[in-house]
Every structure is written in C-alpha cells, then in structure tokens.
Amino acid sequence: MMTKEDRKNAFLYCKFRDEQFALYDEYAKRHGMLMKTLLVVNVLFYAKEGMTQKEICQRTFHSKQTVNLIIKNLLADGYVTAAEMPEDKRNKIVRMTDAGRAYCEKVVRHITWAEDTAMSLFTPEEQKQLIDLSRTFTKNLTRLVNQEEEEDINGAL
C-alpha cells in the first residue's frame, strides 16, 4: 500500500535530482555551453584514445541524433576529430584535439572535482548506500515507467 510518506519522499528525491540537473545546466551555461554538450565533452576529455559516437550515447544517455549534432558542432569548432576505424568504416573514433582539451579542461576538471569532493564528504558506508539505493530506485523507476498499465504495490489493478 502506497502511503502519503512514500509520495512525499518520491517528490523530495525527484526534486533533488531536478535541482542537480539545474545545477549542471546553469554551470554549463555559465561556461558558454549547453548541458548536453558539457556531458559529451566530459566523457571525451577523459577518453584519451577517443570513443565512437555509439559509446558516447551509452555513456551520456543521449540519443544518436543529439550526439551527432554535438559532434558536428565540436568538429566545426576544431575541438574534436572523427577518424574512420579501419575495421568498420561506418564507425568513427571521436577524439578531442589540443584546442578541444584547452577549451573544456578547466570546466570539466572543476565539475569532476566538485562531484568527487561531494562524494568524499560521505563515509564509505554512506557512499555505498547512496549508490545501491540510487541504482535500485533507477531500476524500479525504469521498469514502472516502461510498463503499460499502473498497478498497486500488490500487483492488482
């Protein structure tokens, strides 16, 4: 049976998530980029050998179209290169250029430092708990969002 407390806590948890999204969005804008671009340059910055657009999609949870558009813009600005893979011409390895690294290094390193430091303020037990509970919430939410009909907790409609 879903309680009033369950609904209140779901609201609070989602409010914190939205607050985090807004924080990333505002941070990206402050540095002249969109949040989705920040997330892409973030994964590329740390991928020394580069990665395919498919891998970028998997890491950032962005659609193929979104990643393609971001990469096009980064290519036009000279911030990345896209080289065909010899074994698969359709797949290109996207790598950050020196100009790209210079463009986003400070922004990416600062956000990574902030995330790592925020996590380090928890004890190892609290860190594990936060990750385990967030993973379970995400799995449950994914299953429930993707099912066709609503049901109560006991499975009856």
| 32-80 pLDDT per residue, tens | 999 999 999 999 999 999 999 999 999 999 999 999 999 999 999 999 9
Nearest-angstrom CA–CA distance, 24 and 21 = 5
Dihedral sign (CA 3, 134, 53, 79)? positive
Phi, psi at 112, each rounded to 5°: -65, -45
Residues 120-127: what's their mean pLDDT?
A: 98
Residue 149 confidence (pLDDT) = 82
Tell the residue number behind the tokens 């429930």, with chain if given.
144
User: CA dihedral in degrees (73, 77, 83, 89; nearest 10)?
Assistant: 30
35-46 and 64-76 helices, crossing angle to 10°: 80
